[in-house]
Structure 1
Amino acid sequence: MRTLLAAVRGAGTALVVAAVLPVPPAVAQPAEPGTDRQTWSVAPASTSGPDGRAGFDYVVEPGMRYDDHLAVRNLGEGDITLDLYAGDAVNTGTGGFDLLARDEASTVVGDWVTVSSPQVVVPARDTVVVPFSVTVPADAEPGDHVGGLVAAATTGGDTPVEVERRVGSRLYVRVAGPIDATVRIDAVTPSYRGTPNPAGTGEVDVTYTVVNDGNLRLSLLPSVGVSGLFGLGRRSTTGEVLPELLPGNAVTLTQTLTGVWPLGPLDIRVTADPVTSATQSLGGTVAPATADATLWAVPWTALVALASFLGIVIALWRVRRKIRALRGGPR
Structure 2
Amino acid sequence: MRAFLGRILLAAAVAVCALLAPPPPAHAADSVSWSVEPVTAAGDATGHPWVELTLDPGARREQYLRVTNRGAEAVVFSLSAADGYFTDTGRFTMLPAGQRSADAGTWITLPASVSVDPGASVVVPFTVDVPANATPGDHLAGVAAGIFSEQDTVGVESRIGFRVLTRVTGDVVPAVSTTATADYHPPWNPFLPGRLEVHLATRNTGNTRLSAENEVAVTGPLGLAARTSRSDPLPELAPGDERQATVTVDDVWPLFAMTAVVATTAADAGGNSEGVTAATRVTVPAMPWSQLLVGGCAVALVVLAVWDRRRRRRRWASLVEKAREQGRRDAVSGVWSVAVAVLLAAGVMGISPPPVHASEPVGVTVDISPQPEPMPPSMSPGGGAALAQTGTSLPASLAVGGTVIVAAGTMFWTISRRRDARRASSSRAESAS
Q: Within 1, Cα distance between the matches of 2:269 and 2:30?
A: 42
Partner of 1:67: 62
CA displacement at 1:328 relative to structure 2: 4.7
Matching residue within 5, 21, 40 for 1:46: 40
Aligned to 2:261: 269
**Rounded Cα–Cα distance in structure 1 between residues aligned with 2:149 and 2:98:** 16
Distance in structure 2 (CA, Å) of the matches to 1:139 and 1:85? 24
Partner of 1:175: 168
How far residue 317 of structure 1 moved from its aligned partner, in angstroms, is 8.6
Alpha-carbon shift at residue 318 of structure 1 (Å)? 9.4
Alignment of 1:285-296 (within 5 A): 286=276, 288-296=277-285
Q: Which has the larger radius of gyration?
A: 2
1:79 aligns with 2:74: yes
- Quote the offset at 1:248 in angstroms: 1.4
1:164 matched to 2:153? The reply is no
Structure 2 residue identity aligned to 1:63: G
In 1, are the aligned partners of 2:58 and 2:130 still within 8 Å (CA)?
yes
Q: TM-score, normalised by structure 2?
A: 0.61
Structure 1 position 107 matched with structure 2 position 102: yes
Choose from 197, 215, 221 the match for 1:229: 221
Contact 2:139-2:165 at 8 Å conserved across structures: yes
Query: 1:296, CA displacement in angstroms?
Result: 0.8
Task: Output the amino acid matched with 1:189.
Answer: T
Note the C-alpha offset of 1:195.
1.9
Q: 1:147 Cα deviation (Å)?
A: 1.7
Q: Which residue of 2 aligns with 1:19?
A: none
Q: 1:149 aligns with which of 143, 150, 161?
A: 143
Which moves more between the two structures, 163-172 or 298-307? 298-307
Determine the C-alpha separation between the residues in 1 that align with 2:34 and 2:273: 35
Deviations 1:170-192 (A, max 9, x none): 11111111111111113x12111
Q: Which moved more, 1:209-218 or 1:237-246?
A: 237-246
Shift, 1:60, TM fit: 0.7
Higher helix share: 2
The change in CA–CA distance for 1:306 and 1:85 in structure 2 (over 3 A counts) is same
Hey, what's the Cα distance between the residues in 2 that align with 1:96 and 1:264? Answer: 42
Verify the 8 A CA contact 1:221 1:275 in the aligned structure 2: no
CA distance in 2, matches of 1:301, 1:162: 61
For the 8 Å contact 2:208–2:268, the answer to whether it is kept is: no
Equivalent-residue separation in structure 1 for 2:234 and 2:272 (angstroms): 15
Q: CA deviation at 1:53?
A: 3.4
The CA deviation at 1:227 is 0.8
Structure 1 Cα separation of the partners of residues 201 and 70 of structure 2: 41
Whole-Å separation in 1 of the counterparts to 2:219 and 2:118 = 63
In 2 relative to 1, CA 102–36 (structure 1 residues): closer, same or farther, beyond 3 Å?
closer
2:128 to 130, 134, 141: 134
Whether the 8 Å CA contact 1:204–1:260 is kept in 2: the answer is: yes
Secondary structure of 2:292's partner? helix
Q: CA deviation at 1:274?
A: 1.8
Distance 1:121 1:327 in 2: 116
Ranges in structure 2 where 5+ consecutive residues have no aligned partner: 1-28, 316-427
Change (3 A) 1:311 1:136: same
Post-superposition Cα deviations, 1:219-250, rounded to whole Å, max 9, x if no partner, equal 21221121111111111112222352111111
- Is 1:265–1:296's contact at 8 Å kept on the other side of the alignment? yes
Amino acid at match of 1:276: D
Whether the 8 Å CA contact 2:40–2:46 is kept in 1: the answer is: no
Match of 2:202 among 207, 210, 214: 210
Correspondence for 1:298: 287
**1:127-173 deviations in Å (ceiling 9; x for gaps):** 121111111101001111112112223332552x3333222211111
Question: Do the aligned partners of 1:189 and 1:208 also contact (CA within 8 Å) in 2?
Answer: yes
Amino acid at match of 1:185: T
Q: Which amino acid letter does the alignment assign opposite residue 37 of structure 1?
A: S
Structure 1 residue 255 corresponds to structure 2 residue 242: no
Cα distance between partner residues in 1 of 2:246 and 2:103: 31
Please give the TM-score of this superposition, normalised by the length of structure 1. Answer: 0.78
Q: SS at the partner of 1:211?
A: strand
Superposed counterparts of 1:9-20, under 5 Å: none
Summarize deviations over 1:238-281 as a string: whole Å, max 9, x none.
22223521111111111111111111111112222123331336
Structure 2: distance between partners of 1:152 and 1:203: 49
Deviation at 1:91, TM superposition (A): 2.5
AA aligned to 2:139 is H
How many Å separate the matches in 2 of 1:249 and 1:190?
A: 22
Letter in 1 for 2:289: W
Please name the residue that 2:410 is paired with. none
Conserved? CA contact 1:95–1:251, under 8 Å = no
CA RMSD in angstroms, aligned pairs only: 2.9
- 1:73-131 CA-partner distances (Å, limit 9, x unpaired): 12233333322211222222344433222222221111111112x22232222212111
2:191 matched to which residue of 1? 199
Percent same amino acid among aligned pairs? Answer: 34
Q: Please say if residues 274 and 282 of structure 1, whose CA atoms lie closer than 8 Å, have aligned partners that are also in contact.
A: no
Give the drift of 1:295: 0.6
- SS of 1:242's equivalent in the other structure is coil
Residue 174 of structure 2 is aligned to residue 185 of structure 1 = no
Equivalent AA in structure 2 for residue 261 of structure 1: W
State the shift of 1:314 in Å. Answer: 7.3
Q: 1:93 aligns with which of 79, 88, 96?
A: 88
Contact 2:174–2:268 under 8 Å retained in 1: no
The whole-number CA distance in structure 2 between the counterparts of 1:177 and 1:215 is 11
